[in-house]
Structure 1
């Protein structure tokens, strides 16, 4: 009887182990499906906050054409300077927690093989340049 009881204990333990393995695999599968959808929006929001920290008046920031791809967020930002006037639309790029704004944004975008060169961003920048030259 002692041998049979020992075998029952072992199979019960094996059953528990299999249960936990299946539960873990289910969790990994659900996380793999849901995580990209969840982190896309929150990563973009976090990167917008990084840009705001670099501005003189973060509360005045107006963002447009914001997009995130491959961990890089880019778009356009307009904010007020110390005199209270809007500076004009500038390109921004956030990569690995560092914001590049204005000229730095253009340089960074070029180094990243034009990751931010969408038609909408190009059109908005051209319109801003046209308006500022008037």
Structure 2
């Protein structure tokens, strides 16, 4: 992965500008924590990365297999009630696949869902080298 994202905050409390390639969007915090609610929270962005990668990976796989997938919906949330300990994060990921698929095909697609690149990143050890400029 050679993706690069740049994030900047200036002037408006908690609102960040995000840039990747030629794309620009905002992240913010909800009003109840003094944000402006002008964009998704950082946690929502993380969940959206996993959900979109899962949906894209499943779509690509189904197309390659010529399986009749009509639609894929992915619902994600952090589940703090299921945390086995304070250092563990639990993400609930519910995948809805619409299409005339048999049980074997559906089972295989769920295996593939766990193989999307973002899922692999999030379930393997991560090293973050944070430095000051």
What TM-score do you get using the length of structure 1 for normalisation?
Answer: 0.32
Q: Bigger radius of gyration, 1 or 2?
A: 1
Structure with higher helix content: 1
What TM-score do you get using the length of structure 2 for normalisation?
Answer: 0.33
